[in-house]
A and B are shown apart, each in its own frame.
Chain A
């Protein structure tokens, strides 16, 4: 259980960094790249997949 919480905290950190990347990246293509990485991270954070 503690391991799962630590794992989710790490994934949450990645999600925050990726969302930050979407807001700060100037090129739309790079924003989309962050989105592609963000989707599986969110699914993991929510323990769906």
Chain B
């Protein structure tokens, strides 16, 4: 082989195309590595990186911010975890809305909006998911990343053929080694996902958290949907809350935490801490297998003709009409459930009551839109 000296133009064009494509695509991918700016309410008392709990996270893509709101009166404590799976966008946006509106009168509230921060830096191959959703606020548009279910393989690789869950010996598909909600209770110096899981579990132990929430979303055809998942130690507060919610017209099912399915937040927090764990699930058509065109609008508005047809023939597990299930409705469900469960905890533990609020009423949120209650963008629009 020898270089043909008569074709410098085509070589130059080819290398130029390479450079342009690499720069454009690299820029697009790297934007997703930038954390969105959040604007905590003035009720925030302190914030610290999760690496303070597990130093093995320092300097890694798994380190993430913990926001703490402390009331002036003593009381119990709550942890709200969002972004365990950053593709479940309402599970991220509900804690974000809390961070920007929350006030605590008694007790302490810990919020981790980006539990798997690495998973927020990429999105799922072949899912056609958007990189961001955009919410219009009074001060301009704010964009929030639509991440992936799994830790970014740039930060943790390779996956084994079979993932053997280290605590239980449960065998799962290899990719599940990067699933935070299969990694609990975690290992302090394990792989990146296990380090994050250990840090969260240790935070619960160290701060003696009374009630811990892990917020998720799933496809409308998934059987555990519009659900409150509770383990044997949180069944009592979850039962009171479910009845209260149903009396108020909110349809929630109460699901038990499977005792032999290890690695899940609610299972392992039950077995390895003294907290009362709760997992919340809302229905997001952007995650379903039956969905039509996939874009940010679908993730925000939650409207999809295919799911209307699927609901008409009884193929899904939630009501679904032309109005869809908007992100406001999904966030409202999460917040109303958190409120009801904390209220049930307070009723059963009045000496450790947690008094908190500040976020919008569900009807107002759904009527006015999420952007009305998020802080206005103060430094122009978020990067996209």
Contacts and interface: CB of A to CB of B under 8 A. Distances in A.
Contacts, number: 54
Contact of B26 (A22, A26, A48): A48
A22 B21 contact: no
A35 B122 CA distance: 24
Contacts of A34: 14
A31 B14 contact: yes
A43 interface: yes
Interface residues of B, number: 22
A49 B21 CA distance: 13
B247 interface: no
Interface stretch (B1-9, B111-119, B249-257): B1-9
B173 interface: no
Contact of A26 (B7, B25, B158): B7
Contacts of B154: 47-49
A35 B30 contact: no
Given A32-B17, A35-B17, A39-B21, A48 B10 contact: no
Contact of A39 (B1, B2, B22, B158): B22
A43 B14 contact: no
B312 interface: no
B3 A23 contact: yes
Contact of A42 (B10, B11, B13, B18): B18
Contacts of B14: 22, 28, 31-32, 34-35
A3 interface: yes
B29 interface: yes
B364 interface: no
Interface string A12-49: 00000001101110101001101100110011001111
B15 interface: yes
A42 B21 CA distance: 10
Given A42-B18, A48-B30, A24 B1 contact: yes
A19 B19 CA distance: 12
Contacts of A49: 25-26, 29, 122, 154
B17 A48 contact: no
Nearest to A40: B25
A33 B210 CA distance: 59
Nearest to A4: B157
Contacts of A22: 11, 14-15, 18
B3 A24 contact: yes
A15 to B, nearest CB: 10
A30 B17 CA distance: 14
Contacts of B15: 19, 22, 35
Nearest to A36: B21
Contacts of B26: 43, 46, 48-49
B11 A23 contact: yes
A22 B30 CA distance: 27
A27 B245 CA distance: 69
22 contacts: A3-B158, A4-B157, A22-B11, A22-B14, A22-B15, A23-B3, A23-B4, A23-B11, A24-B1, A24-B2, A26-B7, A28-B13, A31-B10, A31-B11, A34-B14, A39-B21, A42-B18, A42-B22, A43-B29, A47-B154, A48-B154, A49-B29
Given A22-B15, A35-B21, 20 more contacts: A3-B158, A19-B15, A23-B3, A23-B11, A24-B2, A24-B3, A26-B4, A28-B10, A28-B14, A32-B17, A35-B14, A39-B18, A42-B22, A43-B25, A43-B29, A46-B26, A48-B154, A49-B26, A49-B122, A49-B154
Interface of A: 3-4, 19-20, 22-24, 26, 28, 31-32, 34-35, 38-39, 42-43, 46-49
Nearest first, the 10 closest Cβ-Cβ pairs linking A and B are A31-B14, A28-B10, A39-B21, A24-B1, A35-B18, A23-B3, A22-B14, A48-B26, A42-B22, A49-B29
